[in-house]
Every structure is written in structure tokens, then in C-alpha cells.
Amino acid sequence: MLNMIRFISWTFCGYVRVLGRAWVGVALGAAVAGAQEDSLTADDFSKLDTFESVLLSKADKVYGANEYRQATAAYDGFVLQYPKSVATPYALLRKGRSLQLDNKRNDAIKVYNEILDYFPNAVAYAGAALYYIGDCHWKNSDAKEAMKAWAEMAKDSDYSKHLLAARAINQLADNLVRQEKWSEAAPYYLQVAVDFRRANPEATRAAIEKMSQYYIRERPDAAGLRAAYDKTETFEWNPQAGSDSNFWSRTIESIDRLGVFNEADRSNRDRYYQYWAQAMEGKFPEWDDYQAAAARFRLTVDGDEAKWMARLDKQFSQYQKDGDYARVVRWIGYYASRKPKLEEYYAKLSFEKMTGEQIVGLIGVFYTRCPATSYPLARNAIDKLKPGAVSDDTRENIVRGWMWGRDEEGMRLTSAGMKDVDRGKMLLLRYYRDARQSDKGLALVDDLARNPAYAKEALYAKGLFLQWKNKWAEAIAAYRLSDSPPDSSFRIAECLMADGKRDSAIATLREIENFFKAAAPEAALRIAYAYRDTGESKMFIAALRAVLKKYPGSAQSNTAHLELEQLGVKTGGGVDAE
């Protein structure tokens, strides 16, 4: 008997060791793999015995289920049973988190301090504890103590490398910025941008943005900005080797973005642009966009249009080569709002020598940078596009990306040049549909209805155009031909209601409800509104109750509930309004 007991005991323990590791691994695997914030590290997990793993996994399970009071007790039980376990600081950290998430922040701080007192070298957990101490104080509206904790984290050589340190140091710096202490905040932002460049890209991005603001606007300093650029391995999302051109491209973008001043701050605006115009002097003589930016910054300060244009014209003539029409287009963009200069450079173009790509670039400049008064020149450029010079896809992108809602004539010209004639017509039809221009749309639909590729969409659009013109019977006929249920069926019901044929409209909605499951709740709600709109209040209420009964949990059920409440009618007891 004793041997049997020993056999059972040995077998059970072996079973727990083998199976226990498997299911504990499932419970803890994600946390171990991520090893972030308040997770158990992979190294510590590997050192746990079976019984520690089982007990800890149970605690983690209730923590993961947001049962924080149970989790607090479970982690506390682990600490009491295994006070010398390698996972004890982890259990204390999770106990503190459970208290914090249960809004017992002062109790949580006490637990976090236990970790700092007894396990200061367990950096993965002590570093997190220090961050969460600051977080608790912050949520308690005690900014002073929060900053104290986060400043300690920033200064400690080990804790400052913890993943949470990026967030802590950024928050510390942000608080200094709120106090207008930019010079104290900037080194913290740089610290995050350097130390967490690869480990925490989001925190790094935020730190680089603020650090750049310091060196560009708050205390303009090109040398300081360049040093930061090199230390952070560029201002791009991904760390990489830097270059002078990349540095200045990003800097110019930021100068423009950050250079917004109100009228009362004009003196600071002038100092800002004066500094950057001077800092850019003498560099990259052949780089047009760089020189144009420098000239624009000088113009902002001195307001001298003649000098600005002279600088741009000199830059153009000094480096222009025959046949470089892309560069002419660039100057048209520089002079976008100065029509005489724009027209002067437009006259330099030889469309017969330009590629389709260059002409498309010109069209883009007109629609993205120039005022509408210049659109006639853009249309002239569209006319110069040789047949087949660009694909139909490119033409559609021009229409949708640049012209939609801006220049209908330009859209017509661009669409008319498509190789697929019906595709061009369909593109225009979609615009007329979106713009609710019924007469123009109706002029296109019948031709397109003969093309199987566009017939359904064209006939549906015809139905819309006729419905908007209150031609109910003709609209219904078009919708039926479009064969696009349930959408076309809903539209038919709308037309029937508008034509005073409520019962037919309800019958159509019943068909939708019976044959199209996804659309059934909406059809049922519209039946209710059909009764409401014809003054049948009892049937309206009954139909709303039917929605509640048939489609609980749907958005339409929520709407029906609100409608009944507004009517002062008790919900429940729904019956079909048939």
C-alpha cells in the first residue's frame, strides 16, 4: 500500500512537472516573450520550479482577467510562500499593479517601495516599480512627487534603460516644458531619443519632435540641432546614416511647420526667420529647393518681393540647362501665387518636347499649389497630353487626387482623353452622382448602361438622379433594372413612400427583411418609420417593439428603444406590426 502511495505521488509530481510546465508556459509565454513593463523575464521564468510556476500562473490568470482584488491576494500568497524565489520581486510588482489598477494607489506605492528597498538590483522589476510610483503620484495630482520619482529614474544608470524609462523621462521633460524650462527639458528628450532609438520608436519619435522644437524655435541653434541629429542617427523613423542634405531637408520642413506666429509676436517671428536664413547662407548652391527656402525665409523678414524674385530668377538662370522642363515646372510652383511670374515661366515650356510624366507634374503643381485663377493654364496643359502619353490609371488619379470638386472642366478634359472611353464617362458619372448633378449625370447613363462592366452602377446612379428629380416611377424602374438589392430595394421603398404608396413600400421592406439577413434590422426600423410618417402611431409603436424583439443588440434596436422612451412607452412585449 505504501509503495502504491509512493508510486501515485511520484507519478503525480512527474505529471505536474511535465504538464505543469506546458500549461504554465501557455499562461506566461506571452509575457515572457515580450518581457515588457511588468512582465516576468524569460531568464527568471526559466529558474522557477514547477510549484512556483503553477502558483504564479494562477495569479497571472486572474490578473489577466482584470480581477485585481483576487490578483492582489494571489500574488501576496506567492510572496508569503516563496519569499526567496527569483520571482518574488515580480510578484510584488504585480501586487502593486493590482492595487494601483484597483484605485488603491497609496497602498500600491508602499508595495513598489518594498521592491526598491529589498530588490533594488532586480532592475526589470525595480525600474518598473519606480516608474509606477511616479505614475501613482501623477494620478493622485501630486506632480512634484511624480517628477521626483521620474527624475530619479532618469539619473540612475540602470533604471534609465528600462523600457518604461522612455515614458517617464518624456513626461518629466514635458512637465518642464509646461513650466517654460526648455533648456532643462531638452537634454531629457535627447536622452530618450538616443537610449530608446530602437527599443521604443514611438517614445523616440515624440522626444525627437520636442527636441527639434527646442533647437529650431525655442532657441534656434543649427549646430545643436545637427549634433542631436547625429546622436539620434537622423530624424527619420528608422535609425540610419545621416547626410547634410537629409538633415537640411528635415530641418526646412520643421522650420516651416514651427514658424507660425501671431501678429503680436512679429518680432520673434522676424528673429526666427532671420536666424535660419542666415544659418542657411552659403550652402548647397545647386540645390534649388534649399535656395528657394532660404529666399522665402528672407522674404518673410524683409518683405521685399523684388529681391525675393531676383534671388529665384538668378538661381534659375545660373543652373538651368536646355530641355530641363522639370526645373521650369519647379519654378512655376515657387511662383504659384504670383501670376505674372508664373505665366513668365509657363511660357518657357515646350510641350512638344516634354514627357507625359513632366506634363502630369505640371498639372499637379497647378492643382496643389496654385489658386483657381490658374486652372485655365492647367487645362491647356491637359490638352497638350498626347494620346497614350499616360495610362488611364494616371488620368483617373489626376481627376480623383487633384481635380475632384475643384475643376469640373479639367475633369471632363482629362477623362475624355482616356483610351477606355466608357471608363472616362464612368469617372465623370461618379462625380456627378457625388455632386448630385442629376441633369449632367442623366446625359451619360444610357450609354454606360449598354456596357456590361458599368451597367449596374450606371442604372443605380440613374435611379438616384431621377429620385432627386422626384420622378418616382422612372426612378423605381431604373433601380429594378440595376438589380442591386438590398440597396436598390431600400431606394425603391423610399420612392414608393414619397409617391404616397406606403403599403407597397412596407411590402418591399418586408422582402428585404425576409431575404437579406444583414439588412433586416434596418428594414424593420424603416417599416416603423413608414407607419410614423403616415400618422399610424399604434402601428409605429408595435413596429418599434418588433425591432426590439427580433434584433436585440443591433444599432437599430438601440434606436427603437430611444424612440419608445421619447414617446413615453414602456419597452418590451414586442409584437410584429403586420
Average pLDDT over residues 535-542: 96
Q: To 5 degrees, how large is the angle CA 462–CA 463–CA 469?
A: 95
> What is the per-residue pLDDT for 1?
36
The pLDDT > 90 percentage for the chain reads 90
What would the pLDDT profile of 262-293 be if each residue is shown by its tens digit?
989 999 999 999 999 999 999 999 999 999 99
Average pLDDT over residues 476-483: 97
> What is the per-residue pLDDT for 36?
54
CATH 1.25.40.10 domain locations along the chain: 1-161, 485-578
Nearest-angstrom CA–CA distance, 106 and 108: 5
Stronger pLDDT, 387 or 146, i.e. the higher one? 146
Average pLDDT over the chain, rounded to an integer? 92
What cell was used for 48?
Answer: 522557477
Nearest-angstrom CA–CA distance, 482 and 466: 13
What cell was used for 320?
Answer: 538651368
> What is the per-residue pLDDT for 38?
79
> What is the per-residue pLDDT for 39?
84
> What is the per-residue pLDDT for 216?
98
What would the pLDDT profile of 148-186 be if each residue is shown by its tens digit?
999 999 999 999 999 999 999 999 999 999 999 999 999
Asked if 327 and 320 count as a contact pair (C-beta separation under 8 A), the reply is: yes
Residue type for 286, please?
Answer: E
What would the pLDDT profile of 74-125 be if each residue is shown by its tens digit?
999 999 999 999 999 999 999 999 999 999 999 999 999 999 999 999 999 9
Contacts of 48 (CB under 8 A, 6+ apart): 56, 85, 86, 87
572 has a pLDDT exceeding 80: no
> What is the per-residue pLDDT for 25?
34
CATH, domain range 1-161: 1.25.40.10
What would the pLDDT profile of 333-381 be if each residue is shown by its tens digit?
999 999 999 999 999 999 999 999 999 999 999 999 999 999 999 999 9
Residue type for 157, please?
Answer: S
> What is the per-residue pLDDT for 137?
98
What cell was used for 154?
Answer: 532618469
What would the pLDDT profile of 307-317 be if each residue is shown by its tens digit?
999 999 999 99
29 has a pLDDT exceeding 90: no
Nearest to residue 251, comparing CAs of 282, 286, 297, 199?
297
- The CATH class, in words, for 485-578 is mainly alpha
Contacts of 81 (CB under 8 A, 6+ apart): 55
What would the pLDDT profile of 132-153 be if each residue is shown by its tens digit?
999 999 999 999 999 999 999 9
516 has a pLDDT exceeding 60: yes
Q: Flag the least confident range among 36-45, 268-277, 349-358, 553-562.
A: 36-45
**Widest distance between CA atoms in the chain:** 108
Asked if 75 and 95 count as a contact pair (C-beta separation under 8 A), the reply is: yes
571 — pLDDT class (breaks 50, 70, 90): confident
pTM recorded for the entire structure: 0.79
